[in-house]
Chain A
Amino acid sequence: MNIYRPSLAVIEKINQETRDTRTFTLRFLDDDIREKYKFNPGQFNMISIFGVGEAPFSITSDPDAKGIFEHTIRMVGSVTNAIFKLREGDIVGVRGPFGKGWPLDEAKGKDLLIVAGGIGIAPLRPVIYYTIKHRDEFNKVEVLYGARTPGDLLYVDEYDQWKQAKNFRLLLTVDAVPKGVKWDHRVGVVTKLFEDMETKPDNSIVLVCGPEIMMKFAVKGLLERGFSKRQIYLSMERRMKCGVGKCGHCQIGSKYVCKDGPVFSYDEVEPLPDKIV
């Protein structure tokens, strides 16, 4: 198999999440590829729009779902603009899944704290699906999620279902509430929610994803609250041109984000150069 050759997938469904973000449900055209395709929460695909290019996107769907997978994509540049021009029934190229995902095996039997900012919730949604479906494998699950405004929150239709799960808490915050919008959660950056959380450093694992500056403050807050560097996992974002450890673009120090990550423990990230967190 040629590592650079994408497989074709059809867009089954497009859901407008927010002003600039959509969730795309994809299905591989080839039966064999579709059957065999499996991913771990936190892994990503390289999505091709032929003639425009390829870019990495986290897989956001339920890892147990058969036959389909989803990407939530924010429009920021050329490939993402091209993706936003596509309609249901259109075809894209997909390579993946790539990278190492979240350490769910290690999290089993422990409390799980999820801290997400903005589109950073995308690679964590498979974890939420997974923990809800396999509720007994984990202790408490707590999700702290922050967005710019209430209108920027992703997956709002699913919150009720999440909250119904046993021993599962969802805490929300936004940076600002526009006039006239009803909002009965916190206002402020996501680290504000640390004041309300129940998860303690004892027997817990923390998964963090968001803009690097947000992860920086999240890590700082967690360390201050007694969490250790090895308990905290981050998903890093870097420019990627291959996804398979060849093009060199995603390197941070000696790490390739595409194959050694994108998920790293803070312990691994801390000594690396050229980063904000």
Chain B
Amino acid sequence: MGRVLILSIEEVKNLLEKLLSRYKVYGPVKAKDFWKFEEITNPDEVDLGYISTMLPIKKYFLPPFETILHVKLGEDKEITIKEPEVNEKCVLFGVHPCDLKAILLLDKVFLDELKDPYYLKRRENTIIVALNCTAADEYCFCTTFGAGPFAKEGYDLVLTNLDERGYVLEVGSNKGEELIKAMGFAEVSDEYRETILKRKEEILRKMESEINQKRRIPNVEKLPELLAKNFNHKVWESMGKLCLACGSCNLVCPTCYCFNVVDKFSINLREVERIRTWDSCLLLEFAEVALGGNFRRERLARFKQRIYHKLSYFIEQYGEFGCVGCGRCIRWCVRKIDPVKIVGEIMEKPVPLS
């Protein structure tokens, strides 16, 4: 741990090449007018200048569709249950700090005392090479929650672009250390190391102030209390009307974890797949119960559920904000509904805090 290396862009490609020879590698790839995380086969496919992918990397730990049980219904009432095996070992290359932080938050949900076996296996089998952010767009607000622009923990390796000098590569885990050892990159002198780390610090400060200026929730530590007191603030009503309740925000959010479970029969009615799929609390059916009951029938109630879960309930549940400020829910919203603006409006005219 603590090792620092300098890689030229060629050496970064070299690193990717080496990873590709040993693992399945997923990385940011430019699609038409957005980026996505995809399997890569050639280092040139990766776009390390990307800002944000449409879907977050949670898809590699909690796939959008996943069989959680295979069930065989035999003759004579015999039932055999088999658990699918999760074996793939892979590398996620170029994960931005907000998305990495989101995985650390999902760990709190899936790896508490009742561990999700499939999530756990994928976490163990995945190597994360993070990529600190040296560019942001108008939707990014990671600094509000301390999730970015630079990663603090949870990575095996992390890269930071220093422009003409190439990339700093730092090691964050034993797994990362072993990888690097095996690759035989040269170490830098102590002196140079100092210079590099100083330069890195400068870039970090510059990025932080740039993001803070563009988009930020001030006094975020007061936010849960402010929201609790302003549950009936007038801003909500207009939002409830603006929101289409399409659920896109839930799908693109790196910290949304809700899922549905359905059983699917095979054609011969002898085999059943129990499948879980991403779900969305914005959808009407989400909180429906027997005989037509629904505890969030109003669109406004569903809209508030998402915002309050991220900015208030999650803290009570897991001790941290449930938002990492990746900006996806704004970026991809048809109506450009913006939680930062909503909070801003509440802050402008709040019900006074005690």
Contact = CB atoms under 8 A, between A and B. Distances in A.
B29 to A, nearest CB: 30
A106 B260 CA distance: 36
Nearest to A53: B263
Given A91-B77, A274-B305, 10 more contacts: A2-B117, A4-B68, A51-B263, A54-B261, A80-B290, A241-B260, A241-B261, A242-B261, A248-B279, A273-B301
A187 to B, nearest CB: 24
A188 B64 CA distance: 49
A66 interface: no
A254 B269 CA distance: 40
Contact of A248 (B258, B269, B301, B304): B258
A207 interface: no
Interface string A255-272: 010010000000000000
A5 B83 contact: yes
Given A52-B263, A248-B258, A5 B289 contact: no
A155 interface: no
Interface string A82-107: 00000001110100000000000000
A178 interface: no
Interface string B281-311: 1000011111101011000010011001100
A247 B295 contact: no
A53 B261 CA distance: 8
Contacts of A152: none
A237 B257 CA distance: 21
A245 interface: yes
Interface string A219-247: 00000000000000000011101101111
Given A238-B289, A274-B295, A247 B79 contact: no
A63 interface: no
A247 B263 contact: no
Contacts of A108: none
Interface residues of A, number: 40
B293 to A, nearest CB: 8
3 interchain residue pairs of minimum CB distance = A248-B258, A254-B316, A254-B313
Contacts of A241: 259-261, 279
Contacts of A275: 295
A245 B113 CA distance: 10
A246 to B, nearest CB: 6
Interface of B: 68-69, 71, 73, 77, 79, 81, 83, 109-110, 112, 114-117, 231, 257-263, 265, 269, 272, 274, 276, 279, 281, 286-291, 293, 295-296, 301, 304-305, 308-309, 312-314, 316-317
Contacts of A253: 308, 313
Contact of B116 (A3, A54, A276): A3
Contact of B287 (A238, A245, A259): A238
A248 B263 contact: no
Contacts of B289: 237-239
B295 A76 contact: no
Nearest to B264: A51
Per DSSP, chain B at the interface is mixed
Which of B289, B291, B312 has the most chain A CB atoms closer than 10 A to its own CB? Answer: B289
A77 interface: yes
B257 A8 contact: no
A154 to B, nearest CB: 17
Contacts of A51: 71, 73, 263, 265, 269, 272
Contacts of B314: 254
Given A5-B83, A91-B77, A249 B258 contact: yes
A246 B109 contact: yes
Contacts of A54: 261, 274
Contacts of B262: 53
Nearest to A237: B289
Contacts of B317: 254, 256
Contacts of B116: 3, 246
Contact of B281 (A93, A242, A248): A248
A48 to B, nearest CB: 8
B281 A50 contact: no
Nearest to A8: B79
A67 interface: no
A251 interface: yes
A242 B291 CA distance: 20
A254 B319 CA distance: 11
Given A5-B69, A241-B259, A89 B77 contact: yes
A151 B310 CA distance: 47
A141 to B, nearest CB: 30
20 contacts: A3-B114, A4-B68, A4-B274, A51-B265, A54-B261, A54-B274, A93-B81, A212-B293, A237-B289, A241-B279, A244-B114, A247-B258, A247-B259, A249-B258, A249-B287, A251-B305, A251-B313, A254-B317, A256-B317, A274-B296
